Amino acid sequence: MSEQTCEIDFVIPIHNFNFLNQIVVEAIDKLYYPRTIFIITPQKYINKMILYSVNWEYNTNIKYISDETFFSQKYGLSKSDIEKWYTYKDEQSREFGWWFQQIVKLGAFENIPNISDPYIVWDSDLIPIQKWEIYPTPHCSHYTFAILQESAKNTWNVEEYKKSILRLIDMEAEEPVETGTFVPHHFVFHHKVLQCMVETISQKTNVSWLQSILQLSNDCYRFSEYKCVATYMNTYYPELLHYYPFTEYGKKGIRYRESSSIVNQLKQWVEKEGDISYAEFYDFVLEYYDSLPSYIQIEHIE
């Protein structure tokens, strides 16, 4: 698939506006030349992003969608309606927005008109440095994501993932054949896979799949949309489940669960406040690291 024939859309949920937005959008544009990048974000950030993106370097068509009304047309539900199904139990609970982004990723196929099949979901804090081929090529006929994470944060998270997936789809959570986890922070979503999975969930629970997932928060602390879909695909659509092993790209990546140190280093290096381009970030990586990482993920930037 060439740059001229690419008809694939990317979906990026963004929970807050920060300097990584430009870097990630420009990186995806440069490496994957999608047809459209759909940015799903609160309405209060959309005008700000439109204004700032005037100075970004990209060729892709970018469309912004308010997450407050994302499920309104098909389901008649606002974001605040959906939040009523969420339960905060204690300090170990993940916030509602974390759960909400997962259903946005899963629901894009039926809530974004004419979105490509498949489409690529990309987490807003994942910066690709070395390109891994996602689209089919003359040497590979299928779509392929990369296993980027070697292991979960802790055993407790693993057990919570298992519990929530078993409860939702009656299946034991799967992991890649070799090392790594099915939480790759990007994924290839095929419409027929998602359609079948959400129908399975709704038939099992007798409520909408949206409500089923949010109500997991009543007694499950963690859920992974990626792991859930990969588990479902491994049984029902194994011919569509293709991924690069962790050793190919994941092992060479760097993930910052605490962002302050690397962010301070980056801002000192560029010697400016505000926008940072992907080109500037790439130059920083060349100077700052002894060898070129495959990706850098910087979490929890406010």
- Indicate if the pLDDT at residue 231 is higher than 90: yes
Tokens, residue 263: 């962010």
Q: Could you tell me if 96 and 71 are in contact, meaning their C-beta atoms sit under 8 angstroms apart?
A: no
Residue 247, helix vs strand vs coil = coil
pLDDT tens figures, 121-169: 999 999 999 999 999 988 889 999 999 999 888 899 899 999 999 999 9
**CATH code: domain of residue 28:** 3.90.550
pLDDT tens figures, 75-103: 999 999 999 999 999 999 999 999 999 99
Provide the residue range defining the domain that includes 199.
9-130+143-252
The rounded Cα 148 to chain-centroid distance in angstroms is 12
Q: Is residue 289 part of a domain?
A: no
In 13-148, where does DSSP find H-type helix? 20-32, 43-52, 72-75, 79-83, 96-111
Q: Is residue 270 part of a domain?
A: no
pLDDT tens figures, 11-70: 999 998 999 999 999 999 999 999 999 999 999 999 999 999 999 999 999 999 999 999
Side chain identity at 230, as an amino acid letter? Answer: A
Give the torsion through C-alpha atoms of 134, 138, 141, 147, to 10 deg: -30
Q: Is residue 27 part of a domain?
A: yes
Q: Is residue 167 part of a domain?
A: yes
Q: How many structural domains comprise the chain?
A: 1
- Whether the pTM exceeds 0.75: the reply is yes
Identify which of 114, 134, 14 has the alpha carbon closest to the alpha carbon of residue 65: 14
Q: Is residue 284 part of a domain?
A: no
What gap in Å lies between CA 277 and CA 296, rounded to an integer? 15
Q: Is residue 162 part of a domain?
A: yes
Q: Is residue 207 part of a domain?
A: yes
Q: Is residue 26 part of a domain?
A: yes
DSSP-derived secondary structure letter, 65: E
What gap in Å lies between CA 231 and CA 9, rounded to an integer? 23
What gap in Å lies between CA 295 and CA 72, rounded to an integer? 35
Mean pLDDT, rounded, of the chain: 94
Residue 137, helix vs strand vs coil = strand
